[in-house]
Amino acid sequence: MQLKTQVGIIGAGPAGLTLSLLLAKFGIESIIIENRSRAYVEARVRAGLLEQNTVDLFKDMGVGERMECEGAEHHGVYLNFDGVRHRVPFKELTGGRCITIYGQQEVVKDLIEARLAQGGEFFFEASAKSIEGIEGNSPEIHFEQNGEKHNILCDFVAGCDGYHGISRQTLPKDSYNEFHIEYPFSWLGILAHAAPSSDELIYSYHQRGFALSSLRSETVSRLYIQVPNDDKIENWTDEQIWDELEIRLSNGSDFKVNRGEIFEKSITPMRSFMIDNMQHGRLFLAGDAAHIVPPTGGKGLNLAVADIRFMAAAFKEFYTNGQEHLLESYSQDCLRRIWRAQDFSNFMTTLFHKQSEHGSFEYQLQKAKFDYIGISEAYKTTIAENYVGLKEI
Protein backbone atom coordinates (compact mmCIF):
# COMPACT_ATOMS: atom_id res chain seq x y z
CA MET A 1 0.00 0.00 0.00
CA GLN A 2 1.26 3.47 -0.88
CA LEU A 3 0.02 6.22 1.47
CA LYS A 4 0.53 9.95 1.40
CA THR A 5 0.38 12.58 4.16
CA GLN A 6 1.97 15.83 5.25
CA VAL A 7 3.69 14.60 8.44
CA GLY A 8 4.47 10.90 8.92
CA ILE A 9 4.76 10.17 12.65
CA ILE A 10 6.65 7.13 13.94
CA GLY A 11 5.55 6.16 17.47
CA ALA A 12 2.32 6.48 19.46
CA GLY A 13 3.90 7.48 22.78
CA PRO A 14 3.21 10.85 24.40
CA ALA A 15 5.36 12.66 21.79
CA GLY A 16 3.79 11.21 18.62
CA LEU A 17 0.23 11.42 19.92
CA THR A 18 0.54 15.01 21.14
CA LEU A 19 2.02 15.98 17.77
CA SER A 20 -0.82 14.41 15.74
CA LEU A 21 -3.41 16.29 17.82
CA LEU A 22 -1.61 19.64 17.64
CA LEU A 23 -1.15 19.26 13.88
CA ALA A 24 -4.86 18.50 13.47
CA LYS A 25 -5.63 21.68 15.37
CA PHE A 26 -3.52 23.59 12.81
CA GLY A 27 -5.17 21.81 9.87
CA ILE A 28 -2.09 19.70 9.06
CA GLU A 29 -2.53 16.03 8.08
CA SER A 30 -0.59 13.23 9.71
CA ILE A 31 -0.47 9.42 9.96
CA ILE A 32 0.89 7.55 13.01
CA ILE A 33 2.60 4.18 12.80
CA GLU A 34 3.14 2.28 16.02
CA ASN A 35 5.05 -0.95 16.54
CA ARG A 36 2.85 -2.20 19.37
CA SER A 37 -0.87 -2.83 19.70
CA ARG A 38 -3.22 -0.16 21.02
CA ALA A 39 -3.85 -2.28 24.14
CA TYR A 40 -0.10 -2.57 24.79
CA VAL A 41 0.67 1.16 24.60
CA GLU A 42 -2.39 1.96 26.71
CA ALA A 43 -1.23 -0.41 29.46
CA ARG A 44 2.51 0.39 29.48
CA VAL A 45 3.33 1.62 32.99
CA ARG A 46 5.78 4.50 33.13
CA ALA A 47 5.63 8.12 34.21
CA GLY A 48 3.25 9.79 36.59
CA LEU A 49 4.41 13.33 37.15
CA LEU A 50 3.11 16.04 34.83
CA GLU A 51 4.60 19.54 34.91
CA GLN A 52 2.36 22.58 34.88
CA ASN A 53 3.20 23.34 31.20
CA THR A 54 2.20 19.81 30.16
CA VAL A 55 -1.09 20.03 32.04
CA ASP A 56 -1.83 23.48 30.58
CA LEU A 57 -1.13 22.24 27.04
CA PHE A 58 -3.41 19.18 27.43
CA LYS A 59 -6.18 21.44 28.74
CA ASP A 60 -5.69 23.85 25.79
CA MET A 61 -5.83 20.91 23.39
CA GLY A 62 -9.17 19.85 24.88
CA VAL A 63 -7.83 16.49 26.13
CA GLY A 64 -7.60 17.38 29.84
CA GLU A 65 -11.07 16.49 31.02
CA ARG A 66 -10.30 13.11 32.65
CA MET A 67 -6.89 14.35 33.86
CA GLU A 68 -8.64 17.22 35.68
CA CYS A 69 -11.08 14.79 37.36
CA GLU A 70 -8.79 11.88 38.14
CA GLY A 71 -5.35 13.52 38.36
CA ALA A 72 -4.17 14.99 41.67
CA GLU A 73 -2.55 18.40 41.95
CA HIS A 74 0.42 18.44 44.34
CA HIS A 75 1.62 21.69 45.86
CA GLY A 76 4.77 20.44 47.52
CA VAL A 77 7.20 17.54 47.86
CA TYR A 78 8.96 15.93 50.84
CA LEU A 79 12.71 15.40 50.69
CA ASN A 80 14.25 13.03 53.27
CA PHE A 81 17.90 12.41 54.06
CA ASP A 82 19.04 10.12 56.87
CA GLY A 83 15.84 10.65 58.81
CA VAL A 84 15.64 14.44 58.39
CA ARG A 85 12.76 15.81 56.30
CA HIS A 86 12.36 19.10 54.43
CA ARG A 87 9.25 20.10 52.49
CA VAL A 88 9.59 22.16 49.31
CA PRO A 89 6.35 24.10 48.74
CA PHE A 90 5.66 24.93 45.08
CA LYS A 91 2.92 27.54 45.06
CA GLU A 92 4.71 30.07 47.26
CA LEU A 93 8.07 29.61 45.52
CA THR A 94 6.93 29.49 41.89
CA GLY A 95 4.10 32.01 41.72
CA GLY A 96 1.30 29.47 41.97
CA ARG A 97 2.60 26.63 39.80
CA CYS A 98 2.31 22.95 40.76
CA ILE A 99 2.58 19.37 39.42
CA THR A 100 -0.19 16.88 38.64
CA ILE A 101 0.04 13.15 39.29
CA TYR A 102 -1.67 11.27 36.46
CA GLY A 103 -0.37 8.02 34.95
CA GLN A 104 1.31 8.08 31.53
CA GLN A 105 -0.92 5.23 30.33
CA GLU A 106 -3.96 7.37 31.17
CA VAL A 107 -2.45 10.25 29.15
CA VAL A 108 -1.86 7.85 26.24
CA LYS A 109 -5.46 6.53 26.44
CA ASP A 110 -6.86 10.09 26.42
CA LEU A 111 -4.72 11.16 23.46
CA ILE A 112 -5.53 8.07 21.36
CA GLU A 113 -9.22 8.41 22.05
CA ALA A 114 -9.19 12.12 21.12
CA ARG A 115 -7.28 11.49 17.89
CA LEU A 116 -9.52 8.56 16.87
CA ALA A 117 -12.59 10.70 17.54
CA GLN A 118 -11.23 13.18 14.96
CA GLY A 119 -10.88 10.34 12.45
CA GLY A 120 -7.08 10.33 12.86
CA GLU A 121 -5.20 7.68 10.93
CA PHE A 122 -3.25 5.08 12.98
CA PHE A 123 -1.46 1.89 12.06
CA PHE A 124 -0.91 -0.24 15.17
CA GLU A 125 1.35 -3.32 15.19
CA ALA A 126 3.09 -1.64 12.29
CA SER A 127 6.86 -1.44 12.47
CA ALA A 128 8.82 1.30 10.66
CA LYS A 129 11.76 -0.38 8.96
CA SER A 130 13.47 2.53 7.21
CA ILE A 131 13.16 6.22 6.44
CA GLU A 132 14.38 7.21 2.98
CA GLY A 133 15.02 10.51 1.23
CA ILE A 134 15.23 12.83 4.24
CA GLU A 135 17.54 15.19 2.31
CA GLY A 136 14.86 15.77 -0.36
CA ASN A 137 11.35 17.23 -0.12
CA SER A 138 9.38 13.96 -0.03
CA PRO A 139 10.83 11.51 2.46
CA GLU A 140 9.29 8.03 2.74
CA ILE A 141 8.64 5.80 5.72
CA HIS A 142 8.75 2.08 4.91
CA PHE A 143 6.83 -0.06 7.37
CA GLU A 144 5.49 -3.58 7.80
CA GLN A 145 2.15 -4.69 9.17
CA ASN A 146 0.94 -8.32 9.26
CA GLY A 147 3.89 -9.35 7.10
CA GLU A 148 2.97 -6.85 4.36
CA LYS A 149 5.17 -3.99 3.26
CA HIS A 150 3.78 -0.45 2.97
CA ASN A 151 5.15 3.04 2.57
CA ILE A 152 4.11 6.59 3.39
CA LEU A 153 5.19 9.47 1.23
CA CYS A 154 5.35 12.63 3.39
CA ASP A 155 6.60 16.18 3.48
CA PHE A 156 8.21 15.58 6.88
CA VAL A 157 8.98 12.63 9.17
CA ALA A 158 8.55 13.04 12.94
CA GLY A 159 10.73 10.51 14.76
CA CYS A 160 8.81 9.95 18.01
CA ASP A 161 9.88 6.32 18.31
CA GLY A 162 11.62 6.33 21.69
CA TYR A 163 15.14 5.34 22.69
CA HIS A 164 15.21 2.08 20.67
CA GLY A 165 13.56 3.47 17.52
CA ILE A 166 14.99 3.79 14.02
CA SER A 167 14.80 7.59 13.67
CA ARG A 168 17.97 8.41 15.57
CA GLN A 169 19.80 5.70 13.63
CA THR A 170 18.67 7.41 10.41
CA LEU A 171 20.41 10.70 11.29
CA PRO A 172 23.85 10.86 9.64
CA LYS A 173 26.40 9.76 12.25
CA ASP A 174 28.46 12.93 11.77
CA SER A 175 25.47 15.24 12.30
CA TYR A 176 25.45 15.02 16.13
CA ASN A 177 27.50 14.33 19.24
CA GLU A 178 26.30 11.77 21.77
CA PHE A 179 26.54 12.09 25.56
CA HIS A 180 25.95 9.22 28.03
CA ILE A 181 25.96 8.55 31.73
CA GLU A 182 25.17 5.01 32.87
CA TYR A 183 24.43 5.12 36.60
CA PRO A 184 25.60 2.14 38.69
CA PHE A 185 22.06 1.48 39.95
CA SER A 186 18.50 0.83 38.74
CA TRP A 187 14.98 1.39 40.06
CA LEU A 188 12.73 -1.45 41.16
CA GLY A 189 9.24 0.03 40.73
CA ILE A 190 5.91 -1.34 41.93
CA LEU A 191 2.24 -0.51 41.55
CA ALA A 192 0.07 -1.74 44.39
CA HIS A 193 -3.55 -1.67 45.47
CA ALA A 194 -2.77 0.34 48.59
CA ALA A 195 -3.79 3.81 49.71
CA PRO A 196 -0.86 6.25 49.35
CA SER A 197 1.22 6.44 52.53
CA SER A 198 1.71 10.20 52.22
CA ASP A 199 -0.25 13.18 50.88
CA GLU A 200 2.78 14.26 48.79
CA LEU A 201 5.67 12.45 47.09
CA ILE A 202 8.65 11.51 49.27
CA TYR A 203 12.21 11.24 47.88
CA SER A 204 14.43 9.59 50.45
CA TYR A 205 18.16 8.98 50.87
CA HIS A 206 18.88 6.07 53.18
CA GLN A 207 22.19 4.33 53.78
CA ARG A 208 20.66 1.21 52.18
CA GLY A 209 19.73 3.25 49.09
CA PHE A 210 17.14 5.60 47.58
CA ALA A 211 13.37 5.18 47.90
CA LEU A 212 10.48 7.13 46.36
CA SER A 213 6.87 7.10 47.46
CA SER A 214 4.46 8.18 44.75
CA LEU A 215 0.89 7.33 43.86
CA ARG A 216 -1.63 6.99 41.08
CA SER A 217 -4.92 7.43 42.92
CA GLU A 218 -6.53 7.22 46.34
CA THR A 219 -6.27 3.44 46.16
CA VAL A 220 -3.13 2.84 44.09
CA SER A 221 0.44 3.52 45.25
CA ARG A 222 3.53 3.75 43.03
CA LEU A 223 6.80 3.15 44.84
CA TYR A 224 10.45 2.70 43.86
CA ILE A 225 13.69 1.52 45.48
CA GLN A 226 17.29 1.75 44.29
CA VAL A 227 18.75 -1.68 43.43
CA PRO A 228 22.06 -2.76 41.85
CA ASN A 229 22.12 -2.92 38.03
CA ASP A 230 22.47 -6.71 38.00
CA ASP A 231 19.52 -7.29 40.34
CA LYS A 232 16.57 -9.39 39.11
CA ILE A 233 12.91 -8.98 39.95
CA GLU A 234 12.82 -12.71 40.92
CA ASN A 235 15.27 -11.90 43.75
CA TRP A 236 12.55 -9.97 45.56
CA THR A 237 9.43 -11.31 47.28
CA ASP A 238 6.61 -8.80 47.74
CA GLU A 239 7.22 -8.92 51.49
CA GLN A 240 10.88 -8.01 51.03
CA ILE A 241 9.96 -5.05 48.78
CA TRP A 242 7.51 -3.68 51.37
CA ASP A 243 10.02 -4.19 54.22
CA GLU A 244 12.75 -2.41 52.29
CA LEU A 245 10.44 0.49 51.39
CA GLU A 246 9.45 0.87 55.01
CA ILE A 247 13.05 0.87 56.25
CA ARG A 248 14.16 3.44 53.68
CA LEU A 249 11.14 5.74 53.90
CA SER A 250 10.72 5.71 57.68
CA ASN A 251 14.40 5.86 58.58
CA GLY A 252 13.79 5.15 62.24
CA SER A 253 10.64 7.30 62.53
CA ASP A 254 7.16 5.84 63.08
CA PHE A 255 6.24 6.42 59.38
CA LYS A 256 4.32 3.40 58.04
CA VAL A 257 4.04 2.32 54.42
CA ASN A 258 0.52 1.17 53.52
CA ARG A 259 0.80 -2.32 52.04
CA GLY A 260 -1.45 -4.04 49.53
CA GLU A 261 -1.44 -6.38 46.55
CA ILE A 262 1.44 -5.61 44.17
CA PHE A 263 0.10 -5.87 40.60
CA GLU A 264 3.06 -4.58 38.60
CA LYS A 265 6.79 -4.73 39.27
CA SER A 266 9.81 -4.13 37.08
CA ILE A 267 13.41 -2.95 37.14
CA THR A 268 14.52 0.06 35.06
CA PRO A 269 18.17 1.03 34.52
CA MET A 270 19.05 4.68 35.12
CA ARG A 271 20.76 6.60 32.37
CA SER A 272 21.27 10.08 31.00
CA PHE A 273 21.55 10.22 27.21
CA MET A 274 21.64 13.13 24.83
CA ILE A 275 22.33 14.08 21.23
CA ASP A 276 23.05 17.70 20.44
CA ASN A 277 21.26 17.82 17.08
CA MET A 278 17.73 16.44 16.68
CA GLN A 279 17.12 17.00 12.97
CA HIS A 280 18.48 16.40 9.49
CA GLY A 281 16.77 17.54 6.29
CA ARG A 282 13.10 16.57 6.60
CA LEU A 283 13.53 14.28 9.66
CA PHE A 284 12.84 15.76 13.12
CA LEU A 285 13.24 13.79 16.39
CA ALA A 286 11.38 14.36 19.66
CA GLY A 287 11.21 12.82 23.14
CA ASP A 288 13.06 9.68 24.19
CA ALA A 289 14.27 9.21 20.59
CA ALA A 290 16.68 12.08 21.24
CA HIS A 291 17.20 12.15 25.01
CA ILE A 292 16.80 10.07 28.16
CA VAL A 293 16.86 11.47 31.67
CA PRO A 294 16.95 9.37 34.85
CA PRO A 295 13.37 9.42 36.23
CA THR A 296 14.37 11.06 39.55
CA GLY A 297 13.35 14.50 38.26
CA GLY A 298 10.10 13.28 36.64
CA LYS A 299 11.05 14.96 33.38
CA GLY A 300 11.01 12.43 30.46
CA LEU A 301 7.39 12.70 29.35
CA ASN A 302 7.35 16.43 30.01
CA LEU A 303 10.40 16.96 27.80
CA ALA A 304 8.80 14.89 25.03
CA VAL A 305 5.74 17.16 25.13
CA ALA A 306 7.92 20.31 25.28
CA ASP A 307 9.82 19.20 22.12
CA ILE A 308 6.51 18.65 20.34
CA ARG A 309 5.32 22.13 21.17
CA PHE A 310 8.31 23.49 19.20
CA MET A 311 7.92 20.94 16.41
CA ALA A 312 4.23 21.64 15.90
CA ALA A 313 4.85 25.40 15.89
CA ALA A 314 7.58 24.95 13.26
CA PHE A 315 5.30 22.88 10.98
CA LYS A 316 2.50 25.41 11.43
CA GLU A 317 4.82 28.26 10.43
CA PHE A 318 5.94 26.30 7.38
CA TYR A 319 2.44 25.40 6.16
CA THR A 320 0.70 28.67 6.94
CA ASN A 321 3.42 31.23 6.12
CA GLY A 322 5.93 29.26 4.07
CA GLN A 323 8.60 30.17 6.62
CA GLU A 324 11.38 27.73 7.58
CA HIS A 325 13.14 29.61 10.38
CA LEU A 326 11.38 27.64 13.17
CA LEU A 327 12.23 24.38 11.41
CA GLU A 328 15.85 25.49 11.19
CA SER A 329 16.06 26.48 14.88
CA TYR A 330 14.09 23.42 16.11
CA SER A 331 16.98 21.56 17.79
CA GLN A 332 18.46 24.68 19.37
CA ASP A 333 15.01 25.71 20.65
CA CYS A 334 14.52 22.29 22.31
CA LEU A 335 18.06 21.82 23.61
CA ARG A 336 17.95 24.67 26.13
CA ARG A 337 15.13 23.01 28.07
CA ILE A 338 16.56 19.51 27.63
CA TRP A 339 19.96 20.47 29.07
CA ARG A 340 18.22 22.20 32.00
CA ALA A 341 16.24 19.01 32.65
CA GLN A 342 19.36 16.86 32.22
CA ASP A 343 21.06 18.95 34.91
CA PHE A 344 18.09 18.84 37.29
CA SER A 345 17.56 15.09 36.82
CA ASN A 346 21.25 14.44 37.42
CA PHE A 347 21.15 16.69 40.51
CA MET A 348 18.16 14.84 42.02
CA THR A 349 19.74 11.48 41.15
CA THR A 350 23.11 12.20 42.71
CA LEU A 351 21.55 13.89 45.75
CA PHE A 352 19.27 11.01 46.77
CA HIS A 353 20.96 7.79 45.61
CA LYS A 354 23.58 5.91 47.55
CA GLN A 355 26.70 6.04 45.41
CA SER A 356 29.58 5.92 47.86
CA GLU A 357 30.34 4.60 51.29
CA HIS A 358 27.95 5.99 53.92
CA GLY A 359 29.92 8.70 55.76
CA SER A 360 32.50 9.19 52.95
CA PHE A 361 33.50 12.58 51.49
CA GLU A 362 30.96 12.16 48.65
CA TYR A 363 28.26 11.31 51.18
CA GLN A 364 29.14 14.46 53.17
CA LEU A 365 28.74 16.54 49.99
CA GLN A 366 25.29 15.02 49.40
CA LYS A 367 24.34 15.76 52.99
CA ALA A 368 25.70 19.33 52.80
CA LYS A 369 23.46 19.95 49.77
CA PHE A 370 20.49 18.48 51.58
CA ASP A 371 21.16 20.55 54.75
CA TYR A 372 21.34 23.67 52.57
CA ILE A 373 17.77 22.97 51.32
CA GLY A 374 16.65 23.26 54.95
CA ILE A 375 18.16 26.70 55.52
CA SER A 376 17.90 28.46 52.16
CA GLU A 377 14.76 29.80 50.49
CA ALA A 378 16.88 30.43 47.40
CA TYR A 379 17.92 26.76 47.13
CA LYS A 380 14.36 25.58 47.78
CA THR A 381 13.16 27.96 45.05
CA THR A 382 15.68 26.56 42.58
CA ILE A 383 14.42 23.04 43.29
CA ALA A 384 10.75 24.07 43.17
CA GLU A 385 10.98 25.92 39.84
CA ASN A 386 12.86 23.08 38.16
CA TYR A 387 10.56 20.44 39.62
CA VAL A 388 7.31 22.06 38.45
CA GLY A 389 9.10 22.95 35.19
CA LEU A 390 10.29 26.35 34.04
CA LYS A 391 7.57 28.20 32.20
CA GLU A 392 9.72 29.73 29.49
CA ILE A 393 13.13 28.47 28.48
Residues with catalytic roles: 74, 203, 295, 299, 387
Please, what is the minimum distance in Å from the beta carbon of residue 375 to ligand RFL? 28
Q: Binding of ligand RFL at residue 227 (CB under 6 A)?
A: no
Choice from 5, 9, 46, 272 touching ligand RFL (CB under 6 A): 46
196 binds ligand RFL per the rule CB under 6 A = no
Residue closer to ligand RFL by CB (options 190, 373) is: 190
Residue among 206 and 299 whose Cβ is closer to ligand RFL = 299
Q: Which of 296, 331, 342, 386 binds ligand PHB (CB under 6 A)?
A: 296
Instruction: Name which of ligand RFL, ligand PHB, none residue 222 binds, using a CB cut-off of 5 to 8 Å depending on partner kind.
Output: ligand PHB
Between 5 and 104, whose beta carbon lies closer to ligand PHB?
104
CB of 249 to ligand PHB, least distance (A): 14
Where does this chain touch ligand RFL (CB under 6 A) — which range of 45-53, 76-84, 177-185, 247-255? 45-53
Q: For ligand RFL, which residue of 5, 7, 8, 12 counts as binding (CB under 6 A)?
A: 12
Residue 223 binds to ligand PHB (criterion: CB under 6 A): no
298 makes contact with ligand PHB (CB under 6 A): yes
Piece of 17-25, 90-98, 144-152, 294-302 that binds ligand PHB (CB under 6 A): 294-302
Helix (H) or strand (E) holding 271: strand 261-275
Q: Which stretch, 56-64, 85-93, 124-132, 291-299, contacts ligand PHB (CB under 6 A)?
A: 291-299
SS (H, E, C) the chain: CEEECCEEEECCCHHHHHHHHHHHHCCCCEEEECCCCHHHHHHCCCCCEECHHHHHHHHHCCCCHHHHHHCEEECEEEEEECCEEEEEECHHHHCCCCEEECCHHHHHHHHHHHHHHCCCEEECCEEEEEEECCCCCCCEEEEEECCEEEEEECCEEEECCCCCCCHHHHCCHHHCCEEEEEEEEEEEEEEEECCCCCCCCEEEECCCCCEEEEECCCCEEEEEEEEECCCCHHHCCHHHHHHHHHHHHHCCCCCCCCCCEEEEEEEEEEEEEEECCCEECCEEECHHHCEECCHHHCCHHHHHHHHHHHHHHHHHHHHHHCCCHHHHCHHHHHHHHHHHHHHHHHHHHHHHCCCCCCCCHHHHHHHHHHHHHHHCHHHHHHHHHHHHCCCCC
What is the nearest approach in angstroms of ligand PHB to the Cβ of residue 261? 18
Least distance (Å) between residue 79 CB and ligand RFL? 16
Identity of the residue, 12 or 327, whose beta carbon is nearer to ligand RFL in the bound complex: 12
Report the DSSP pairing between strands 30-33 and 121-123: parallel
- 48 is an interface residue for ligand RFL by CB under 6 A: yes
Single residue of 8, 11, 13, 48 touching ligand PHB by CB under 6 A? 48
**Sole window of 65-73, 293-301, 328-336, 378-386 interacting with ligand PHB (rule: CB under 6 A):** 293-301
Dihedral sign, Cα of residue 10, residue 30, residue 318, residue 133: positive
Per CB under 6 A, residues contacting ligand PHB are 47-49, 201, 214, 222, 295-296, 298
